[in-house]
A and B are shown apart, each in its own frame.
Chain A
Amino acid sequence: MARIIVVTSGKGGVGKTTSSAAIGTGLALKGHKTVIVDFDVGLRNLDLIMGVERRVVYDFVNVINGESNLNQTLIKDKRVEGLYILPASQTRDKEALTKEGVQKVLDELSETFDYIICDSPAGIEQGALMALYFADEAIVVTNPEVSSVRDSDRILGILASRSKRAEEGLEPVKEHLLLTRYNPERVERGDMLSVEDVCEILAIKMIGVIPESQAVLRASNVGEPVILDENSDAGQAYLDTIERLMGNEVEYRFLSGEKKGLFKRLFGG
């Protein structure tokens, strides 16, 4: 049985797709067979960030409609063994994602994959609801600013009330906070919320802090997930995040200005 992890946020443009690509790739690097599913029907860009846009033939909606099978549709990554992408359709709208259809595809993927990473669209409509509905775990991507934190809170409420696990009274979806585009200088100047502020408001367990980084832009321009840029700060922060997702304790980096001791007290347990 695969672990189904949704990467979600409510707010748009906070780094969901960047994070889905990095985390999916990182899990495959660790030897786990992983598929990243693009739920952003109509606005697909996971394939761009993964650099596979020229190899897309069929898409998620084709599979749901029975117009293609998974073998024909999954795109195998050429850099990392055991990494696959299920691209979204550019030409349909989000209503094409029905609960039955999504369930059918996820069930089939579950048979062969260890991890299914669901890249959610922004918002709280059909596409986002379908991306989170079947999740076992959620990575809530948040930027250190008030509107993003509010939207993350909203998404946490939806996870707690409208996911399959909530509806069926199963163990709740496991929630992780991923703080992205973190800029310590701007935090110190008071332009942005600090790690502590965000944690106090959202009150869920943190899994990573990704700094605002030029490396992300560079990576997306060449179609290579930033985690493969091992020398970059963002790449390393994503690698640390993978360790924590595997249950290992790793010290936080790239929070300059933060005192390590304080940080450990807050989140190290």
Chain B
Amino acid sequence: MSDSPIEFKGSAFTLSVLYMKSSDLEAVKQQLAIKIKQAPQFFNMAPLVINVARLNDPAFDFAALKAMLTSLQLIPVGISGASDEQKGPAKAAGFACLSESKTANTVPEQEHTQIRYERVEVPVEVEVPVQKPSQVLRQNLRSGQQFYARDSDLVIIGTVSNGAEVIADGSIHIYGSLRGRAIAGAKGDDSAKIFAQKIEAELVSINGHYWTSEQIDKSFYKSPGCIALDGDKLTLTKLEV
């Protein structure tokens, strides 16, 4: 059984649904930007379902919708309430066509704002990884190079140069010097940490909380350390027991 690298399970996720009541993407974007400003942590890289039941626009540009949402650091995963004509173009733009569970499927009529949010349960078939293994890089990352470890920890046996950038959704371990940028917990994991054998970083960040080089404790320069998040403050501690 465990020989297979993957396994499928059905699972229910709570996703935010964006109800579009206008196909004017510019107006929607403006409204969204205001919402995001009010709760940036909540929206950062948040997966989103877009309900298009109210759009009576057969020529609606789904690709542009996707680009607009992505530009706001949202992750559009699918649409709901699509008419049959809309489903083709939506799929072509990379949207999954979802149907919401009955209770939430009614679109309220008497709304004044263009956008409304609601948390609903959407059954979605997804791939559930047993446990994503760490990604291990056995090389130096040079200026201008970037590496992103999606949904996992990142281990680098080598140096991250000034001008290089490493990003992980989990923690980052660097067996070498960290001279460039390290961004851990990129999708919102507060427990992610950054370990490096020699800290000379340009920037370190955990779930959006960051230090630039001048904010990093000078006494750690070129020595080993661990950067973690305590509440909403970064901490830097020695790698000793």
- Chain A positions within 8 Å of B, measured between CB atoms, are 124, 150-151, 153-154, 156-158, 160-161, 201, 203
Interface residue? B44 (CB, 8 A):
no
Chain B residues whose CB sits within 8 angstroms of the CB of A157 once the complex forms: 141-145, 161, 164
CA distance A153 to B144 in the complex (A): 9
Q: Which of B144, B159, B162 has the most CB of A within 10 A?
A: B144
B186 to chain A, nearest CB (A): 21
Residue of chain B at shortest CB distance from A161: B145
Contact with A along B134-167 (1 / 0, CB 8 A): 0000011111110000000000000101111000
CA distance A243 to B142 in the complex (A): 29
Q: Which of A153, A156, A160 contacts B162 (CB 8 A)?
A: A153
B169 to chain A, nearest CB (A): 23
B31 to chain A, nearest CB (A): 41
Dominant SS at the A interface?
helix
CA distance A211 to B181 in the complex (A): 34
Q: Which of B139, B140, B162 contacts A150 (CB 8 A)?
A: B162
- Chain B positions within 8 Å of A, measured between CB atoms, are 139-145, 159, 161-164, 179
Q: Which of B142, B145, B159 has the most CB of A within 10 A?
A: B142
B208 to chain A, nearest CB (A): 27
CB–CB B159/A203 < 8 A: yes
CB–CB B143/A150 < 8 A: yes
CA distance A259 to B241 in the complex (A): 38
Chain A residues whose CB sits within 8 angstroms of the CB of B162 once the complex forms: 150, 153
CB–CB B144/A158 < 8 A: yes
CA distance A153 to B139 in the complex (A): 13
CB–CB A160/B143 < 8 A: no
The 17 sampled A-B contact pairs (Cβ below 8 Å) are A150-B163, A153-B142, A153-B161, A153-B162, A153-B163, A154-B142, A154-B144, A154-B163, A157-B141, A157-B144, A157-B164, A158-B142, A158-B144, A160-B142, A160-B145, A161-B145, A201-B161
CA distance A160 to B159 in the complex (A): 14
CA distance A151 to B164 in the complex (A): 12
B162 to chain A, nearest CB (A): 6
Chain B residues whose CB sits within 8 angstroms of the CB of A154 once the complex forms: 142-144, 163
Residue of chain A at shortest CB distance from B142: A157
Chain B residues whose CB sits within 8 angstroms of the CB of A161 once the complex forms: 145
Residue of chain B at shortest CB distance from A157: B142
Chain A residues whose CB sits within 8 angstroms of the CB of B142 once the complex forms: 153-154, 156-158, 160
CA distance A203 to B142 in the complex (A): 11
CA distance A158 to B144 in the complex (A): 8
CA distance A203 to B148 in the complex (A): 23
CA distance A42 to B160 in the complex (A): 35
CA distance A157 to B145 in the complex (A): 7
Residue of chain A at shortest CB distance from B140: A203
Residue of chain B at shortest CB distance from A159: B142
CA distance A158 to B163 in the complex (A): 13
Chain A residues whose CB sits within 8 angstroms of the CB of B164 once the complex forms: 157
B59 to chain A, nearest CB (A): 39
Residue of chain A at shortest CB distance from B161: A153
A200 to chain B, nearest CB (A): 9
CA distance A124 to B163 in the complex (A): 15
CA distance A157 to B159 in the complex (A): 12
A165 to chain B, nearest CB (A): 14
CA distance A151 to B143 in the complex (A): 8
